[in-house]
């Protein structure tokens, strides 16, 4: 039978007495200097007070032993008692090597980060699909408000009544060609940016610069149909969910739970400058061209518009809301649209088109 010298405290006073520790068959026995029994701790109840490093004393308690403590300084004691209490091995750091543990956990962490980075976007689609309309609409209003706030003074809403009527009629005409739960809401903003964007829930913003640059109402109709395609396919909602998810998860990882709310508030404004990616753009094109076809509006205008804008403005990298930056045009895309566009009619009357071009003139 193995014996070790140690010190024992019964946990009732601060006194620690010299003690003799015996490793019995099923329990560890502690006796005082005069041989009196102090404690009998079953092996399965033994707990180390802390992880034991080389050269450190072994300090034990028993699961049912209250505040009683046993201290043994003999370096061989931990191995001896661990032979009976196998669960103590986990806290034995006497021979543990640091590098394999760091590399193991480090590898696992990197693998998890990679999996999350690619896995989260996949989850965004089903979540967006079950999101109630009212949430989407609130998010959309918030995003629109933030983007316009970003533009500061240059975000006045154009109020020419005939122009408003014309563009709303066009949007309604396009919306009538599909079955959708979204109620589209379009505004023209008095800003020279050649751009348009769709916030979640059907909130579409067209900048005056785009109408100025367009050579026909059909080009505007093409851009509107494309943006409505983004709404119908929930690209904005999904992007918002991805962003929120990412910031929540990475925020939690970095230990900043309180920052999530404030980050969420900034995301809307980021959304406008993000491109949705090639696949999403092509999806929006396809939905948009279908709408144009069913409404019998010439669809080739969109292609021409892309090409002309590309030539005229180039890509000087300036302007955060540049249409080409957020809607990268490719030859493939243009060809697809051209091939599928089948509409023959006009987007609106000539009088309506003139009213739309003057929509921002009123109230200036």
Partner 1 sequence: MGGDERTQFPSGHQPIVQRRPGDPRQSVPFAPAGSPRMPGAREDDATSPPQSAPGSARPPIETYSGGAPRDRVVEDGRFGELFVLFIINVLLGILTLGIYRFWGKTRIRKYIWSRASFRGERFEYSGTGLELFIGFLFALLIFGPPFFGFYAWIYFDPPPQNPDPTNPVHFQRLMEIYAVAIVLVIVTFYFMHVATFAAYRYRLSRTQWRGIRGSVSGSAWTYGFLGFGLSMLNGISMGWTKPWADTVLLKYRLNQTMIGSAPLVCNIEAGKLYPSFALAWIVTMVATVVAIGGIVSIFVSLTDLRTGRTDPPAMTVLIVLVLLYLLIPVVWLATINFYRAALIRQTAATSRLSGLAFAFPVGGWRLLWFNFSNFFLVLISLGLLLPLVILRYARFVAEYLRVDGDMDYAQVRQSESKGPRYGEGIAEFFGMGVI
Instruction: Identify any residues that bridge with 247 across adjacent strands, giving them in sequence order.
Output: none
Nearer to partner 1, 124 or 220 (CB): 124
Q: Site residues for partner 1, window 80-109 (CB under 8 A)?
A: 93, 98, 101-102, 105-106, 108-109
Distance between alpha carbon 214 and the CA centroid of its chain, in Å?
36
Nearer to partner 1, 17 or 282 (CB): 17
Of 23-31, 66-74, 210-218, 305-313, which segment contacts partner 1 by CB under 8 A? 66-74
User: In this structure, what are the phi and psi dihedrals at residue 31, rounded to the nearest 5 degrees?
Assistant: -125, 150
CB-CB contact of 52 with 58 (8 Å): yes
Nearer to partner 1, 264 or 273 (CB): 264
In the structure encoding, which two tokens stand for residue 321, read together? 């809301």
Closest CB 83 distance from partner 1, rounded Å: 23
Q: Residues 30-59 vs partner 1: string with x where CB under 8 A?
A: -------------------xxx-x--xx-x
Nearer to partner 1, 109 or 172 (CB): 109
CB-CB contact of 55 with 76 (8 Å): no
Of 62-70, 235-243, 289-297, 325-333, which segment contacts partner 1 by CB under 8 A? 62-70
CA distance 61 to 187: 72
Q: Site residues for partner 1, window 145-164 (CB under 8 A)?
A: 145-146, 148-149, 153, 155
User: In this structure, what are the phi and psi dihedrals at residue 316, rounded to the nearest 5 degrees?
Assistant: -85, 0
Of 117-125, 223-231, 245-253, 295-303, which segment contacts partner 1 by CB under 8 A? 245-253
DSSP string, 89-154: GGGB-SS--HHHHHHHHHHHHHHHHHHHHHHHHHHHHHHHHHS-HHHHHHHHHHHHHHHHHHHGGG
Q: Site residues for partner 1, window 248-277 (CB under 8 A)?
A: 249, 252-258, 260-262, 264-265
Distance between alpha carbon 72 and the CA centroid of its chain, in Å?
52
Cβ neighbours for 114, distance < 8 A, ≥ 6 positions apart: none
Closest CB 134 distance from partner 1, rounded Å: 10
User: C-alpha dihedral over 334, 336, 338, 339, to 10 degrees?
Assistant: 160
Instruction: Identify any residues that bridge with 186 across adjacent strands, giving them in sequence order.
Output: 204
Q: Is residue 15 part of the contact set for partner 1 (CB under 8 A)?
A: yes
Of 224, 233, 195, which is closest to residue 302 (Cα–Cα)? 224
Q: Which of 3, 90, 113, 345 binds partner 1 (CB under 8 A)?
A: 113
CB-CB contact of 78 with 52 (8 Å): yes
Nearer to partner 1, 176 or 253 (CB): 253
Q: Which of 28, 81, 139, 205 binds partner 1 (CB under 8 A)?
A: 139
Residues of the shown chain interacting with partner 1 in the complex, contacts defined by CB under 8 A: 7, 9-18, 49-51, 53, 56-57, 59, 67-69, 71, 73, 93, 98, 101-102, 105-106, 108-109, 112-113, 138-139, 142, 145-146, 148-149, 153, 155, 249, 252-258, 260-262, 264-265
């Amino acid at each position: 039978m193995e014996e070790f010298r140690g010190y024992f405290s019964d946990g009732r006073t601060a006194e620690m007495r010299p003690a003799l520790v015996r490793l019995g068959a099923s329990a560890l026995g502690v006796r005082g200097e005069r041989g009196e029994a102090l404690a009998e701790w079953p092996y399965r109840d033994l707990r180390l007070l802390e992880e034991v490093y080389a050269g450190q004393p072994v300090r034990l308690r028993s699961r049912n032993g209250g505040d009683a403590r046993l201290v043994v300084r003999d370096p061989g004691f931990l191995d001896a008692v661990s032979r009976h209490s196998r669960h103590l091995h986990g806290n034995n750091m006497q021979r543990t090597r640091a590098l394999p543990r760091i590399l193991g956990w480090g590898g696992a962490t990197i693998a998890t980060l990679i999996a999350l980075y690619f896995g989260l976007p996949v989850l965004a689609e089903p979540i967006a699909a079950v999101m109630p309309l009212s949430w989407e609409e609130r998010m959309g209003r918030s995003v629109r408000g933030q983007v316009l706030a970003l533009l500061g003074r240059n975000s006045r809403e154009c109020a020419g009544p005939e122009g408003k009527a014309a563009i709303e009629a066009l949007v309604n005409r396009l919306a009538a060609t599909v079955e959708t739960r979204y109620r589209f809401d379009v505004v023209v903003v008095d800003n020279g940016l050649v751009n348009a964007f769709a916030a979640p829930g059907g909130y579409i913003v067209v900048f005056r610069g785009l109408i100025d640059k367009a050579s026909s109402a059909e080009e505007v109709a093409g851009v509107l149909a494309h943006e409505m395609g983004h709404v119908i396919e929930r690209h904005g909602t999904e992007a918002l969910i991805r962003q929120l998810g990412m910031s929540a998860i990475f925020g939690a990882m970095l230990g900043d739970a309180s920052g999530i709310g404030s980050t969420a508030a900034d995301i809307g404004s980021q959304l406008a400058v993000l491109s949705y990616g090639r696949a999403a753009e092509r999806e929006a094109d396809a939905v948009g061209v279908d709408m144009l076809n069913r409404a019998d509006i010439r669809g080739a205008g969109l292609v021409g518009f892309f090409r002309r804008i590309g030539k005229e403005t180039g890509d000087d990298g300036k302007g955060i809301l540049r249409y080409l930056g957020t809607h990268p045009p490719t030859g493939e895309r243009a060809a697809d649209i051209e091939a599928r566009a089948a509409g023959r009619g006009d987007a609106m009357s000539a009088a309506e088109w003139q009213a739309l071009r003057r929509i921002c003139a009123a109230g200036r």
